[in-house]
């Protein structure tokens, strides 16, 4: 197998989160795969709303647009339920895999229905829409929020309990497989697997493997329709008055 270089884009500006995601990506990656994490230079410090999601989409696209590091073979977009994947697909000439869809694709192979457990309840709608447009919502039994905010995630006991409760609600709604609807939570994956005896899919790991797969098979985004390369034109990526930012 030839070496594969994967760029993983964080959806927010928090460097620690990028590092956590990269750790997860590397743990999943094959031996010949190199993972490079990219933190957007601008955008939200965490993505937890539609507003954040659109800001994040533009920032991630801009990050890849202005990237001038070593070449890469695939992009993994590590924002669960966040926007932007079609834009990145237009921009870059390599396969692009979003962790939301990636987790759902693998989950479909492991059971008749899957469920997503995530942090804030306000994100559930965004995740549902993302799965719908990716074409994998049919077998999604439920998207369940824990009500936990980002700060609450610091308390591991409370986090575990909240995710277990959400997972049970997903299972009661018919989920035979769980998708972890957030990035950087390896421990949680183990806990849920052990306690509920259900397969638990992590989006970052799923996306890394799917990216490796597309590269290995020589498959690229279609240019013959809605995802053709954007026309060259004048675009500005943020306010030109730096004082204003």
Locus of tokens 């237009």: 90
* 198-217: contacts with a copy of itself (CB under 8 A): 198-199, 201-202, 205-206, 209-210, 212-214, 216-217
Distance (Å, rounded) from C-alpha 41 to C-alpha 63? 7
Tell me whether residue 89 or residue 157 sits nearer to a copy of itself (CB atom).
89
Instruction: Build a one-symbol-per-residue string for 72-101: x at contacts with a copy of itself by CB under 8 A, - elsewhere.
Output: -----------xx-xxxxxx---xxx---x
At 131, list the tokens.
């799965």
Structure-token pair, residue 223: 């240019």
Instruction: Report 133-152 residues binding a copy of itself (CB under 8 A).
Output: 133-139, 149
First-last CA distance in the chain: 45
| Length reported for the chain | 245
User: Does the protein bind a copy of itself through residue 182 (CB under 8 A)?
Assistant: no
Q: Which is nearer to a copy of itself, 127 or 162 (CB)?
A: 127
34 forms part of the interface with a copy of itself (CB under 8 A): no
User: Does 242 contact a copy of itself by CB under 8 A?
Assistant: yes
Q: How far is 23 from 88, CA to CA, in rounded Å? A: 23
> In whole angstroms, how close is the CB of 231 to a copy of itself at the nearest point?
6
Q: Looking at 66, 93, 154, 157, which residue binds a copy of itself (CB under 8 A)?
A: 66
Q: Which stretch binds a copy of itself (CB under 8 A): 18-26, 156-164, 179-187, 224-232?
A: 224-232
Q: Work out whether 221 is an interface residue with a copy of itself (CB under 8 A).
A: yes
Do 65 and 169 form a contact (C-beta atoms < 8 A)?
no
Rg (CA), the chain: 18
Q: Which of 29, 7, 87 is nearest to 212 (CA)?
A: 29
């Amino acid at each position: 197998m030839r070496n594969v270089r994967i760029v993983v884009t964080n959806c927010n500006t928090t460097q620690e989160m990028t590092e956590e995601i990269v750790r997860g990506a590397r743990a999943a990656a094959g031996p010949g795969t190199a993972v490079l994490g990219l933190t957007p230079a601008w955008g939200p410090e965490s993505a937890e709303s539609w507003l954040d999601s659109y800001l994040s989409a533009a920032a991630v696209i801009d990050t890849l647009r202005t990237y001038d590091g070593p070449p890469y073979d695939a992009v993994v977009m590590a924002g669960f339920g966040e926007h932007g994947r079609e834009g990145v697909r237009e921009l870059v000439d390599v396969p692009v895999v979003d962790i939301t869809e990636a987790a759902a694709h693998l989950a479909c192979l492991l059971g008749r229905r899957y469920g997503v457990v995530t942090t804030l309840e306000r994100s559930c709608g965004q995740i549902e829409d993302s799965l719908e447009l990716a074409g994998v919502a049919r077998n999604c039994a439920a998207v369940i929020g824990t009500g936990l905010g980002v700060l609450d995630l610091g308390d591991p006991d409370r986090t575990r309990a909240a995710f277990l409760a959400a997972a049970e609600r997903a299972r009661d709604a018919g989920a035979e497989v769980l998708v972890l609807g957030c990035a950087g939570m390896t421990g949680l994956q183990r806990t849920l697997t052990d306690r509920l005896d259900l397969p638990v899919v992590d989006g970052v790991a799923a996306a890394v493997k799917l990216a490796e797969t597309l590269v290995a098979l020589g498959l690229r985004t279609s240019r013959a329709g809605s995802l053709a390369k954007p026309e060259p034109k004048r675009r500005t990526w943020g306010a030109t008055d730096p004082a204003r930012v």
